[in-house]
Chain A
Amino acid sequence: MTAAIETQGLTKRYGDLVAVRALDLHVEHGEVFGLLGPNGSGKTTTILMLLGLTEPSAGEVRVLGQDPVRKPLSIKRRVGYLPDTVGFYDELSGRENLRYTARLNGLFGREAEARIQEALLKMGLAEAADRPVRTYSRGMKQRLGLADVLLKSPELVILDEPTLGLDPQAAHDFLDLIQHLKAEGMTILLSSHLLHQVQRVTDRVGLFHRGRMALVGRVPELAQQVLKGAYRIRLRAAGPDLVDALSRLSGVVRVRREKDGYLVEAERDLRPLVAETAIDHGARLFSLDLEEPSLDEIYRAYFEEVNDAAA
């Protein structure tokens, strides 16, 4: 079985500007893949090329095993796309907007109505379905957008900045919906610059930087690669200073003094050893936590590295 998305040397140039540079992307079936990066780093351009909405300058693209430039119709039948700022016909109701999409996908009559109702229910929009879209909130429009995508029961869903402009609660709920889709076996490609949100739902991520995919992998792997100390132990303790003692432990990469304790970055889970050290030095121990590294930190660390190298 081929991958859901496969690109080789994918490049897009606008005159002198290279928006996407020799991108090799590989997304498996059933995977949730996050395209991450600052604005203007080439995420949306990549998505447009995957959908055949813009033509690549060079390189190969295969989406669900087909070329989006040669087979645009069959790909668009199987792929759902939610653009970064999704819009609807304001004067029509949510249901009527979905009906238009259904018809464009060749769904008519009772089957279409059943699917529309199902999508609306799933997105929690059944009550608002017959109100004009102009009365919808930003979060409701975003959910209607997802309903619009789900109508055609796509095999692959591409979401461009799906949480942009949502308040934290709405964004959280929206990511829950995405997790449900994953549970149903859909392949999902989503782009975002809000790293901490995406971390929760993605299997693998790719970090974009100036048109290049700088890093790809699972978040812990990336943490290992970029932060070196992938295990971050937060120690709250009072008493004598422990920085030197902790630094001497084997496997510890870095120790930082914090407001009421220490942050220990280590290659392994060193919690027992840290606890022992603290008590041996006569400190009073309040708590000891292992923190998952966040994407934000990986990201920041990576760009510091890149900028240092450039300087």
Chain B
Amino acid sequence: MPRREGSAFAGLGVVFFKEFADQLSGTRMRILELLVVLTAVGAVYAAIQTIKSVVGEDAFLFLRFFTTAREPLPSFVAFMGFLVPLVAIAVGFDAVNGEFQRRTLSRVLAQPLYRDALLFGKYLAGLATLALVLLSTWLLINGLGVLLTGLPPSGEEVARSLIYLLVTLAYGGVWLAVALFFSVVFKSPTTSALASIGLWLFFTLFWGMIAGLLAPVLSPVRYGFPEEILRQAETGLALARIAPNTLYAEATLALLHPEVRALGPVLPQQLEGMVLGTPLPLSQSLVLIWPHLAGLIAASVLFFTLAYVVFQRMEIRA
């Protein structure tokens, strides 16, 4: 097979900036931004009201803004876990079939660029949009925190919350790639939106139950040995971690609660000599979530590649 002529990324920048501008100027984005900012501010404001009473007792007060829930509002982190996939799907569900519907695809592909550049440019623009939304929300929370408590965040808190932001972006990237994939597979944007949301609901609501049902089948406890019980617990966890939302939730937990030392079953002998409640240094928390971040990125790459393969083989008529 001879090499293709020219760079696969010719025109990537042009596509990226056009798509990015479209995302930011669209009505869709305004609605999503409003939703995210309102919920974020609401959740954090409520959290700060709760926390105010304990100022000075907690070493990681700033991180509590993100994780504290006050009835009836869930915590900011819980909100994000729910909203980020929705925003990502909203950004990506009509990326390719929308161009089909508007009949712009064949005109664009008649220009000197490869399909690679079009697809990748759209993905990057979606990711940049997500990043922008997340970063502005993060800044808003920090500002709000400083204003309402009068305390500046510590360096480690800033680092931890920024890495949390990065993980959130990776999580959004997975759903963006899913949405992009469905937008290539299905001709109608409605179908692709429904398929993306359906997959998300499946993982969020049902996968946990299915993993719980599958674990005893795959690793049955026959004689009641501790090894068997442990193996079953590990199987259950491994199955649950197929879902990106599990990966994301665990990574968030380890990042924003420095005192979390393990994300899985811990044996009593491993607890020997441990001082409970002492926080882990940032580097150790990172070691803990590293596989999760890699898993999220791998899932994005997987779905993007699937989208790419289907898109390359598609015949573009009109």
List residues of chain B with CB within 8 A of the CB of A148.
107
In B149-171, which residues have CB < 8 Å from any A CB? none
Q: Are A86 and B107 in contact (CB under 8 A)?
A: yes
A133 to chain B, nearest CB (A): 10
In the complex with contacts A48-B317, A73-B6, A101-B103 CB distance below 8 A:
no
| Interface flag for A38 (CB, 8 Å) | no
Answer whether A105 and B5 are a contact pair too, CB < 8 Å, given A48-B317, A87-B104, A100-B14: no
The answer on a CB contact under 8 Å between B315 and A104 is no
Neighbour of B5 across the interface among A70, A80, A89, CB < 8 A: A70
Prevailing SS type, chain B contact patch: loop
B82-90, B111-119, B236-244: which one contacts chain A? B111-119
List residues of A (66-115) whose CB comes within 8 Å of B's CBs.
70-74, 76-77, 79-91, 100-101, 103-106
- Contact for B315 among A53, A88, A100, A105, CB less than 8 A: A53
Q: Which residues of B are found within 8 Å of A73, using beta-carbon distances?
A: 5-6, 10, 112-114
State whether A53 touches B107 (Cβ < 8 A): no
* Also in contact, A101 and B318, with CB within 8 A (given A53-B106, A73-B5): no
A93 to B: closest C-beta gap in Å: 13
Assembled-state Cα–Cα distance A9/B111 (Å) = 27
Most chain B beta carbons < 10 A, residue from A80, A83, A86, A101: A83
Interface positions, chain A 47-77, Cβ under 8 Å from B, are: 48, 51, 53-54, 70-74, 76-77
Q: Is the CB of B110 within 8 A of A87?
A: no
Task: Give the complex CA separation of A87 and B108 in angstroms.
Answer: 10
Closest to B98 in A: A89
> Would you call A162 an interface residue if the criterion is a C-beta within 8 Å of the partner chain's C-beta atoms?
no
* Shortest Cβ distance from A92 into B: residue: B22
Instruction: Check: B132 CB closer than 8 A to any chain A CB.
Output: no
Q: Among the listed B6, B18, B114, B318, which residue makes an inter-chain contact with A100, where contact means beta carbons less than 8 Å apart?
A: B18
| CA A91 to CA B22, docked complex, whole Å | 9
Which residue of A has the minimal Cβ distance to B316? A53
> Are A105 and B103 also in contact (CB < 8 A) when A71-B5, A72-B5 are?
no
Return chain B residues, CB-CB under 8 Å to A77.
112
**Shortest distance in angstroms between A304's beta carbon and chain B's nearest beta carbon?**
31
Contact with B along A291-303 (1 / 0, CB 8 A): 0000000000000
Contact B2 A70, beta carbon cutoff 8 Å = yes
B107–A87 contact, CB under 8 A? yes
**B317 adjacent to A87 (CB under 8 Å):** no
Give the nearest-CB partner of A75 in chain B: B112
Whether a CB of chain A sits under 8 angstroms from the CB of B11 is yes
Q: Is B102's beta carbon under 8 Å from chain A?
A: yes
A85 to B110, CA, bound (A): 14
Q: Which residues of B contact A106 (CB under 8 A)?
A: 112
Check if A103 sits within 8 Å of B107, measured CB to CB: no
Q: Give Cα A86 to B111, complex, Å.
A: 14
A143 to B210, CA, bound (A): 57
Once the chains are docked, how many angstroms separate the CA of A103 from the CA of B13?
Answer: 9
- Which of chain B's residues has its CB closest to A82's CB? B107
Contact A103 B5 (CB under 8 A): no
CA distance A90 to B4 in the complex (A): 33
Report the Cα distance A69→B176, complex, angstroms: 31
Min C-beta distance of B49 to chain A, whole Å: 42
Interface residues of B in 164-211 (CB under 8 A from A): none
| Pair A105/B110 contact, Cβ less than 8 Å | no
In the bound complex, residues from chain A placing their C-beta under 8 Å from that of B298 are none
Q: Does A46 contact B (CB under 8 A)?
A: no
B2 touches A83 (CB 8 A): no
Q: Is B263 interfacial (CB 8 A cutoff)?
A: no
Bound complex: CA of A87 vs CA of B18, how far in Å? 16
List residues of B (104-159) whose CB comes within 8 Å of A's CBs. Answer: 104, 106-114
Bound-state Cα–Cα, A148 to B22, Å: 20
Q: Are B14 and A104 touching (Cβ within 8 A)?
A: yes
Q: Are B104 and A72 in contact (CB under 8 A)?
A: no
* Residue from the list A54, A83, A87, A104 in contact with B11, Cβ < 8 A: A104
State A48–B14 Cα separation when bound (angstroms): 24
Residue numbers in A under 8 Å from B316 (CB-CB): 48, 53-54
A44 within 8 A of B: yes
State in angstroms the CA–CA spacing of A83 and B110 once bound together.
Answer: 9
Shortest beta-carbon distance, A85 to chain B, in Å?
Answer: 5
- A145–B5 touching, CB < 8 Å: no
28 A–B pairs (Cβ distance < 8 Å), ordered by A: A48-B316, A48-B317, A53-B106, A53-B316, A72-B4, A72-B114, A73-B10, A73-B113, A74-B5, A76-B111, A77-B112, A80-B110, A81-B107, A83-B103, A85-B103, A85-B318, A86-B103, A87-B103, A87-B104, A87-B107, A88-B102, A88-B104, A89-B22, A89-B104, A100-B14, A103-B14, A104-B111, A148-B107
Question: Which 6 pairs across A and B sit closest by C-beta, in order of nearness?
Answer: A87-B103, A81-B110, A104-B111, A103-B14, A76-B112, A73-B6
**Given pairs A81-B106, A100-B14, 12 additional interface contacts (CB within 8 A):** A48-B316, A48-B317, A70-B2, A76-B113, A83-B103, A83-B107, A85-B103, A87-B102, A104-B11, A104-B15, A104-B111, A148-B107
